[in-house]
Structure 1
Amino acid sequence: MKKSFITGFAAVLLLVSCKNDKKILDSLADYNNSMEEKGYHFGDKLNLPEEVTDNAESISISFGDKETSDLTIDPKFFDFGDNEVTFNIKTKGGETLSQDATINVFSKIPEQDIAYKIVAEYPHDPEYFVEGFLLDGNTVYESDGLKNASQLIRYSLGATTPTTTEKQPANIFSEGIAIAGDKVYQLTYQNKIGFIYDKNTLKKISEFPLPDEFGEGWGLTYDGKNLIADSGSNDLYYLDVNNPSKVVKTVPVGGNKTIYNQINELEYHNGFIYANVWHQPYILKINPSTGEVVGKFDFTKITEQYTKDDSEHVLNGIAFKGENMLVTGKNWPKIYEVAVQ
């Protein structure tokens, strides 16, 4: 009789414990789901529900091989954008509970809307499907995409006829370009290779495999030390200019309310990275050391006149002429020079 009573009591305790554990996990899931869209900012505290904190002896968050019991959004552990984490809870009842979650992190300071004025317009061949675009002196270097049509060209600003053209094989889809020294570096979209050309002749010197860290090549620029690439996410990949297959570091990009996925064409200028967002009429000004979007240009009025007839005719070209910005897009008939106000 006594043994039966003990067994029954233990079963009741187990049932109560299981119900309590379920309450803890359900409460945690509800909280994380409610916060995923709203997101956090660096320095914010995770204010977990009382159902969790009152019944927990300890709580930690793990990120693969890293773990912290400090429930603060710390850049030592979190990046801009989606952070896939696991909550580990040791209950006062001695149980260990785990739950996967996504913690979305935004920049703390709102990005500034940057005003500009169009000060000049230049012709641009509307046959060019612009993927990479930069200015060196008065010479435009342009990488045009699409299979069976990809090419690397250069021409004088204001002209539409290239002075030099390097056609790509039919299977190549060209993407972003950057100049470093006397070389032009070029990415490809899904061919998983990049090319290096002589800057003066555009003759190919060599090619290299794209890093394993990203599968597609999109935008490319050079900060004087490293090549910086993106692949259609919100990550910037710093590449060794002497070995572009090697990723030196990765910097995620984030805004105050938006994680700008699909950042595309890149340009480095005066300590900042400028990036357009694919299929959006914006150019972002990014702090390269933190990935924080500090400013945004809205080119809706320019862009909509081209995208209204073809949604693929998007803004996709950034260069600098002194302190003025040059912008163009895929199959646009114009290049616009704008002065920042």
Structure 2
Amino acid sequence: MSSKLYFFPIALLLIMISCKTEQGHQGSDFSITTNVRKNVVPIGQPLSISIENSKGHKIDSVRYFIHGRDYSNGAILSGFKLGKQQLEAEIYYDNTSERISTNLTILNNKGPVVYNFEVLNSYPHDITSYTQGLEFHNGRLYESTGQLGESKLRAIDHKTGDILQNIDLKADYFGEGLTITNNKVFQLTWRSGMGLIYDLPDLQRLGSFKYGNSKEGWGLCHDDNYIYKSDGTENIWLLDPDTLKEVDRIQVYTHKGKIVGLNELEWINGKIYANRYQKNGVAIINPVNGAIEGVIDFSPLRKKVKQHAKLDVLNGIAFNPESQTIFVTGKNWDTLFEVEIVD
């Protein structure tokens, strides 16, 4: 009996000592400091890094990495993506090495260019359509609309507004953005965690795909290599067009910080054009590093459409390769505008 009583506190003491030893090994004698406030630096500027060495180890050499890429200390930041990145240091000392890290935020180094627009033509648009996605394909305009119980996928004659094909989504699907590639239509749902796939030209449902780290579906566009997907945050995810798996992302930033609420997307001449939720403008985004290079204020268009109780913001942008012009509309707008962007 007494031996058990003695054994218990001794065993407890050994466990406590063991735990303290492990916690001590989890710490590091090194930390990273930089020459910029709060580790926020514009692209195109030099970044100087130093190592705080609290125990005075003899350091033989240090290698630095930003987002997994080698970085030469003090060099101009060039070719890196914007946003929150991991800054790492691999320290060689005392016949061993250790890798430590900290967060680094990279901003754009200049503000976006503000562009104007001219209205070339106006066409009828279904006022009941809560527009979430627009895209031209082979002369037809395809539209995805939202709202539970009202979401649709449509093919439209953009000049007359006539509905050529219509697919009603299940009542519990809230339709979002769309894009067309590899002779298939890809349509997002908002919070169902999945996108829908249709064939062309019949719009027969082929299947679906699940989201990865992007928990919501907002906007889609594509180039020759990737499908780009927004999720309402500052992130635009790059999807493999064959597997529809998220393989990379960009973070959308200006010279001041991140831009959230990225919604409907369109690929136009090597850039991503993005509507912003609850805004009447469009951001022009560099798809390589995430920089907002330009903005277009379309707010005057809202005054040109029928004013009614359900009228909502600008959403829906499509590039017509035949006319080389841009088409925009909004949620429950009665008009589709053909516009030209001007300086």
TM-score range relative to shorter protein: 0.7 to 0.9
SS at match of 2:163: coil
Deviations 1:287-330 (A, max 9, x none): 22222222211112224677997798121111012321111111
Relative distance call for 1:274 and 1:56 in structure 2 (3 A) is farther
- 1:127 equivalent in alignment to 2:132: no
Deviations 1:209-231 (A, max 9, x none): 12x22111111112123211111
| Equivalent in the alignment of 2:146 | 145
**5+ residue gaps, structure 1:** 1-24, 90-98
| Equivalent in the alignment of 1:259 | 258
Relative distance call for 1:142 and 1:112 in structure 2 (3 A) is same
How much does 1:127 deviate? 0.9
- Preserved CA contact (<8 Å) 1:133 1:177: yes
Deviations 1:125-179 (A, max 9, x none): 1211111111224421011111111111111003334111111111111111111
Q: For the residues of structure 2 that align with 1:127 and 1:308, how far apart are their CA atoms?
A: 13
Q: For the residues of structure 2 that align with 1:141 and 1:253, how far apart are their CA atoms?
A: 26
Relative distance call for 1:270 and 1:79 in structure 2 (3 A) is closer
SS at match of 1:225: coil
SS at match of 1:163: strand
The two structures have a TM-score, normalised by structure 1, of 0.74
User: What amino acid is the match of 1:240?
Assistant: D
User: What amino acid is the match of 2:230?
Assistant: D
| Equivalent in the alignment of 1:80 | 82
Q: Provide the alpha-carbon RMSD of the alignment.
A: 3.9
- Preserved CA contact (<8 Å) 1:128 1:330: yes
Q: Give the alignment of 1:166-315 within 5 angstroms.
A: 166-210=167-211, 212-244=212-244, 246-303=245-302, 313-315=312-314
Relative distance call for 1:304 and 1:253 in structure 2 (3 A) is farther
| Equivalent in the alignment of 1:93 | none
Q: For the residues of structure 2 that align with 1:158 and 1:273, how far apart are their CA atoms?
A: 25
How much does 1:255 deviate? 2.0
Deviations 1:176-213 (A, max 9, x none): 11111321111111101111112212110111212x22
How much does 1:43 deviate? 3.6
Between the two proteins, the alignment pairs up a number of residues equal to: 303
User: Identity of counterpart residues, as a percentage?
Assistant: 27
- Preserved CA contact (<8 Å) 2:46 2:77: no
- The structure richer in helix per residue is 1
Q: For the residues of structure 1 that align with 2:154 and 2:296, how far apart are their CA atoms?
A: 27
Relative distance call for 1:47 and 1:224 in structure 2 (3 A) is closer
**5+ residue gaps, structure 2:** 1-30, 92-99
User: What amino acid is the match of 1:165?
Assistant: N
Q: For the residues of structure 2 that align with 1:249 and 1:176, how far apart are their CA atoms?
A: 19
SS at match of 2:301: helix
| Equivalent in the alignment of 2:41 | 40
| Equivalent in the alignment of 2:73 | 70
- Preserved CA contact (<8 Å) 1:324 1:337: yes
Q: For the residues of structure 1 that align with 2:57 and 2:44, how far apart are their CA atoms?
A: 23
SS at match of 1:276: strand
- Preserved CA contact (<8 Å) 1:41 1:73: no
